[in-house]
Every structure is written in structure tokens, then in C-alpha cells.
Amino acid sequence: DTAVSQTPKYLVTQMGNDKSIKCEQNLGHDTMYWYKQDSKKFLKIMFSYNNKELIINETVPNRFSPKSPDKAHLNLHINSLELGDSAVYFCASSQGPFSPLHFGNGTRLTVT
């Protein structure tokens, strides 16, 4: 059973399009995250939700909007995609904000 699953694994799209990435966790965790990993492998936090409430909202363009319909899901919607949005996006969850993270296997987004 996959603990944190995100879809799709690969996403190739053109500039200006709108796309979504879905994430689901079956660990019963209260906190979920979206991270961006750039070509240099740095992980940067984008958003965090605790019990469906936004607790971290880093400085990302407002073209990125997270949505948490329930505790087990945190989706990421991206409007008007740009070349610089190309990266690997990871969803993660944890028992609480100070607990270890469990990551999904990432979505490789390529904007052409």
C-alpha cells in the first residue's frame, strides 16, 4: 500500500496552461505539505496544511493554489504555467508539524 501517492508522475505541458497535481495520504496524518525540488536538488517548502488549515504559505507566485478538501488530500493547482515552473514537486505528510515527513514519489513537471 502506497502511503503518500501523487498523480501524475510526469506532466508535460505548454506555457500558459493550467494544471493540477493530486496528493493523497493513507497514514492518518494531520499535516500535509507541498515541496518544490529544483535542478540543484534543493527542497523548498511551498505550502503546509494542518487539519485542512493553511499554516505555511511561502513566497510563491499566486498562480499556485493549494486545496485541501479533507485531511487526507492536498492538491496543487497551477495557473498560467511558465518555463521556470519546471521542477519536481513533492507532496509529503507528517503526524504533526514537528514530526518526520513521509514523501510521495514526486511529479516531474516540464513546461515547454
Partner 1 sequence: EDQVTQSPEALRLQEGESSSLNCSYTVSGLRGLFWYRQDPGKGPEFLFTLYSAGEEKEKERLKATLTKKESFLHITAPKPEDSATYLCAVQASGSNYQLIWGAGTKLIIKP
> What residues make contact with partner 1 under the rule CB under 8 A?
4, 40-45, 48, 55-56, 90, 92, 97-98, 100-106
Tell me the C-alpha distance between 94 and 83, whole Å. 31
Residue 80: CB minimum distance to partner 1, A: 27
The helix, strand and coil proportions of the chain, stated in percent and rounded to the nearest 5, come to 5, 55, 40
Residue 100 CB, nearest approach to partner 1 (Å)? 4
Alpha helices in the chain (DSSP H): none
Minimum separation from the CB atom of position 24 to partner 1 (A): 14
17 vs 99 by CB, closer to partner 1: 99
Collapsing DSSP to helix, strand or coil, 64 comes out as: strand
